[in-house]
A and B are shown apart, each in its own frame.
Chain A
Amino acid sequence: MPNLEHPAYPAADLLHLESLVPCRESQVSMLLSIFGERQQFSFPSIFIYGHTSSGKTYVMQTLLTTLQLPHVFVNCVEYFTSRLLLEEILIQVQSCSSDTEQTSPVHCDTLNDFVRLFKQALASRELQDQTLYIVLDRAEQLREMEANILPAFLRLQELTDRNVTVVLLSEIVWELFRPNVGCFEPFTMYFPDYSIGHLQKILSQNHPPEYSADFYAAYINILLGVFYMVCRDLKELRHLAALNFAKYCEPVVRGEANERDTRKLWKNIEPHLKKAMQTVYLREISSSQWERLQHDGGEPGQLKGLSAHTHVELPYYSKFLLIAAYLASYNPVRTDKRFFLKHHGKIRKTNFMKKHEKTSNHLLGPKPFPLDRLLAILYSIVDNRVAPTANIFSQITSLVTLQLLSMVGQNDQLDGPRYKCTVSLDFIRAIAR
């Protein structure tokens, strides 16, 4: 395990940093060596990628704050337009420079303004000799902004002629970013997923103070044994650990087992965790409901999950409309005559063929159909006569707003609108009953 060593920073800070970022030592030391000393110019832009919750954001944040490097941290999802993004960066830069001047609201519409204002902001600062780090979290959003934003950020050092480093954090690889116009290639760096050992170590680190670390580590071990197969997301695991720990401790609190008695505790917790996997993990029931459930010690059967309420009540004609739409979407046009006319010819013979067609149609997905066809099928499947009243038509549009049907193609309502049925066979079956 390489210890963090860097001549520029005090050893105590580094040690503290190391304790804060377990299992990421190699990456941190790599970053440190890139950053160099405070006043040294660093690489203009660094691109860090890795899977969800592999500690990118956390590592960057702790690194910059513990070493007290001047930095700006911005989430690109939150500042969804380029203007908001640039203004936010400027505001943070100004607040970095602290006491000197009152931060005034900035207006920055284009990148040109940004570079100018950025220079101004840096010029007025006392930290001119230090590298400023701009961290852009969830950088994949940058691709959806104006075309010049991403290349400009990559070359910000060059453009502003200041000591600045842009760090991009993303979940996708650099190849998907690269704009077609020639741009500066950032230094790319990969954060690998945590292994099970890493997870174990990280999770057991923040144990509750009233229990010993060993006890908590044993608990984490059990938890990982159950959940590691389905979930490797550190955040999720931490959430689950916090939720179920109270249950785990129960025998200890009641005095039936001591902290060493892992086997007994395992017996107690295992079915419980399995239940949790079916419900909480999928967010079928919320965590607060789960906690209440634990508290009451009741059966989870009484609390129905989200997916239990699949039944939808529909008005009489809406049901038929939906069924007609489904038929129109999944049956080819040429079979209409055979299915819906009274005097069809040979239906027995084609029975086998029909089945074959149906499966393939289901694989192909729904096809669009015109309104007239829908109505024609509706008239043939409803027993009594249906008047084409305004109510029927308005029901079609209300089905569209409910996302049970969807409109396809052009927006002109008069030009024979075409629809698509978006519900599944199971849903139709439930309705047709």
Chain B
Amino acid sequence: QQIQEDLNKQLLDNLLSFLSRSHSEFQEKTTGWTCRMKFREIPTAALVLGVNVTDHDLTFRGLSDVLQDNITPYVALLEAKDCPGIKNLMQKLMGQLMNCDIDVDSLEDEDYVQVSQNRIRCSMSSLISWYESVTKKTDSETPSKKRNSSSRHWQSPPVVVIFKDMESFTTKVLQDFIVISSQHIHELPLVLIFGIATSPMIIHRLLPHSVSSLLCIELFQSLSCKEHLSTIIDKLILTSQFPFKLGQKVLQVLINIFLYHDFSVQNFIKGFQLCIVEHFYSQPLSVLCCQLVDIKKRVCSLSHDQCENIRRLPSFRRYVEKQESGKQIELLTNDSFLKEETEKLLEDLHVYHENYVSILRCLHVFTSSLPKYPLGKQIRELHCACLENRVWETEEYESSLQLARMLNKTDLVTMLQQCVEILMSSSGKGFDKTVEKLKEFLTLFQNLEAEASQERDVSVSSQKEFQKKTDLYHLQKTLLELKESRKSKKLTKFEMLRFEVVDYIDSLVRKYLVPADERTLQEIMYFNAATVLRGHLNAAPRTALHTALNNPHWYLKNQALKCDGGGISNKAPDICIVYKLHLECGRLINLVDWLEAFSTVVMAAEEPNADAASSDQVDDIIHARFIRAVSELELLGFIKPSKQKTDHVARLTWGGC
């Protein structure tokens, strides 16, 4: 679990670094703005953040922290839901500003009293007087106590007001606020920040020209959330630092939720964390999922039960079956031998991860520039493909290799250089030879260049042909030609070399990008319960309700309730009977008919030879039960009373479950 905490911290660090990166430019601007106050414009930053609303909160908190640290102590965050009117807005603004002032110099108590007095009158003039008093005080104080944080800010720090969700503010509130503050811009250096989720056009839609002319708007585009995601994936999943890995299906589920549903990096991270918790909770062997240095200690401390657990792992069984019989028995009976073996295997797994990541990046370098992206544009797609099965057996891989065989020289050389860089920077040990080999290729290419100047007419013509025909339209034709040409004429040196390079890359891929499923003991590190995760993250409340009401035994665990087919059993709870009956009705349901049907179902169990009196006069108890069930349905939102017809209720839901 401490690993999880590590992860959390890492994630937050990542996010914060993003924020500071995207806003560093912004801060410079803010400093510049205050210089130009000669017009009556309020400097305004429009921050376009994309539609992932759930992430904004964190972004803004980070932003205000950064601003408070570097530029001004006076930052107010305003949310639309707090400000239905201009009055509430001012109150909120004053409260936040004065509180943050108290944070800066928390020593003076009489200051606090003053503030609470001021709160009664929430208007711009009192805000201005407060601002003047505060700035004056800091001016006089800064020489005396230099260590004060205010020395970092300059003499008259601007007051930054952040509107978190520009879209939801009512037009009038914003207009009024802008008009008011524009009148006092000389006394109170305000800076507005609008958080915009959709597009900057919203400013023009919300504000008339007379108001927007009071603003001096600059636009800042924050990172697209897709890019954000790929960096997160890059840093979290495609590293060998964290022993915990996601299986292919799980990763796919997480990415799908992200792309299809909310674009929220926050939710992605939460899902990731959920995976970690679930993994450590459900997998008894997850103690072994730790950093390489700890493995030895932990393996030694394994109990007998845990060893049995290891023996039960499917991947381990496969491994055992491959060994010769003597070793098999040792593995299955001797605990200490098993421990040694496990340690070795886990170390193997670590090495495999390290190699995997760097080779994956190399392959990505190659495939990402191919036309039509047979293996996907993003590295995450490639990663998924590699996890799923042996990548070299797929059609896409075949076609991409074929395309790679037709690359022109400059591209090929740059790619090789990139690969060399990646491999050099990676920590894997077994790459020395690979790097050498690649470098050898590079020198060969350079040599070739020298030679090419002599026999230009041969190679250039053929090369040109290939360059022209790299688009997919001509692919088929070129391939045919290639086959013919292979037979007919001798290949040029360049082509030979190119084939060699591609073959070598192919061999690397075959060697290192083995899907994790085939590795022994992968269960310890990989979390693969995609259905569990989907159940947790992609909740389907309506479907759940439907199943609960349709097949009560699903939840109640009572065998008697299990009914066959479409029949309505009378043993089920009342609400289930009512629900099933209501499914058969149209938009408007006659209550009397419904009640009759209900009583028939309920009475069916009791003696069919019910006396005449109770047959036409429904039993009071049944009546009461019916009414209770119907009101429960109303509470669940399935029906509502209708005014169109007396004694009828309207259905609110239709199919679609």
Contacts and interface: CB of A to CB of B under 8 A. Distances in A.
A389 B538 contact: yes
B200 interface: yes
Nearest to A78: B180
6 contacts: A77-B180, A289-B218, A313-B226, A375-B656, A390-B540, A403-B168
Contacts of B39: 239, 242, 287
A388 B221 CA distance: 33
Given A77-B180, A306-B204, A401 B225 contact: no
B212 A283 contact: yes
Contact of B51 (A286, A315, A393): A315
Given A81-B87, A315-B262, A403 B542 contact: no
A314 B260 CA distance: 9
A313 to B, nearest CB: 6
A75 B260 contact: no
A315 B199 CA distance: 15
A34 interface: no
B110 to A, nearest CB: 17
A288 B32 contact: yes
Interface of B: 32-33, 36, 38-41, 43-44, 46, 48, 50-51, 53, 86-87, 121, 123-125, 165, 167-168, 176, 179-180, 183, 197-204, 209-210, 212-213, 215-219, 221, 224-226, 257-263, 538-543, 637, 640, 652-654, 656-657
A356 interface: no
A79 B126 CA distance: 11
Contacts of A392: 261
Interface in A78-116: 78-81, 84, 87-88, 105
Contacts of B51: 312-315, 318, 398, 402
A401 B540 CA distance: 22
B517 to A, nearest CB: 26
Contact of A389 (B86, B263, B540): B540
Interface centre among B183, B262, B541, by most chain A C-beta atoms within 10 angstroms, is B262
Given A398-B262, A403-B167, 5 more contacts: A316-B259, A395-B261, A414-B637, A414-B652, A416-B640
A5 interface: no
Contact of B198 (A236, A307, A402, A415): A402
Nearest to A283: B212
B169 to A, nearest CB: 10
A376 B652 contact: no
A372 B123 CA distance: 47
Contacts of B219: 304, 306, 309
Contacts of B86: 80
A80 B260 contact: no
A287 B203 CA distance: 16
Nearest to B181: A78
Contacts of A347: none
Given A283-B213, A288-B33, A315 B218 contact: no
B596 to A, nearest CB: 27
Contacts of A4: none
B226 to A, nearest CB: 8
B218 A286 contact: yes
A75 B203 CA distance: 25
A422 B354 CA distance: 51
Given A88-B123, A239-B39, A283-B212, A306 B203 contact: yes
Contacts of A395: 261-262
A180 interface: no
Contacts of A317: 260-261
Given A395-B262, A414-B640, A313 B225 contact: yes
A26 interface: no
A375 B51 CA distance: 21
Nearest to B200: A306
Contacts of A403: 167-168, 198, 202
A304 B46 CA distance: 13
B262 A306 contact: no
Contact of B260 (A52, A315, A390): A315
B53 A80 contact: no
Of residues B33, B41, B121, B541, which shows the largest number of chain A Cβ atoms within 10 Å of its Cβ? B121
B210 A52 contact: yes
A415 B216 contact: no
A310 interface: yes
Q: A interface, how many residues as a size bin? A: 35 or more
A388 B217 contact: no
Contacts of B44: 286
A311 interface: yes
A387 interface: yes
B118 to A, nearest CB: 10
A376 B32 contact: no
Contacts of B43: 288
A392 B542 CA distance: 11
Contact of B121 (A84, A393, A402): A84
Nearest to B117: A105
The winner among B168, B176, B216 for most chain A CB atoms within 10 A is B216
B338 to A, nearest CB: 44
A392 B540 CA distance: 9
A316 B53 CA distance: 15
Nearest to A171: B210
A21 interface: no
A212 interface: no
Nearest to A91: B125
Interface in A383-397: 387-395
A427 B544 CA distance: 36
A77 B176 contact: yes
A327 interface: no
Given A77-B180, A398-B51, A306 B217 contact: yes
B262 A391 contact: yes
B217 A283 contact: yes
Contacts of A87: 121
A316 B257 CA distance: 10
A287 B212 CA distance: 12
A242 B43 CA distance: 17
Contact of B183 (A78, A387, A401): A78
B216 A416 contact: no
Given A78-B183, A306-B46, A313-B224, A286 B53 contact: no
Contact of A310 (B197, B199, B260): B199
B539 A401 contact: no
Contacts of B260: 315-317
A317 B261 CA distance: 6
B560 to A, nearest CB: 30
A236 B212 CA distance: 11
A117 interface: no
Interface in A292-309: 304, 306-307, 309
Nearest to A391: B261
Contacts of B200: 306-307, 309
Contacts of B176: 77, 80
Contact of A312 (B199, B217, B538, B654): B199
4 A-B pairs with the lowest CB-CB distances in the bound complex, closest first: A414-B637, A316-B260, A390-B539, A391-B261
A100 to B, nearest CB: 21
Contact of A80 (B50, B87, B218): B87
A221 B39 CA distance: 22
B123 A79 contact: yes
Contacts of B221: 309
Contacts of A391: 257, 261-262, 538-539
Nearest to B51: A314
User: Which of A288, A372, A414 has the most chain B CB atoms closer than 10 A to its own CB?
Assistant: A288
A189 interface: no
Contacts of B53: 398, 401-402
Contacts of B201: 306-307, 310
A287 B198 contact: no
A80 B215 CA distance: 21
A173 interface: no
Contacts of A387: 538, 540, 543
Contacts of A78: 123-125, 180, 183
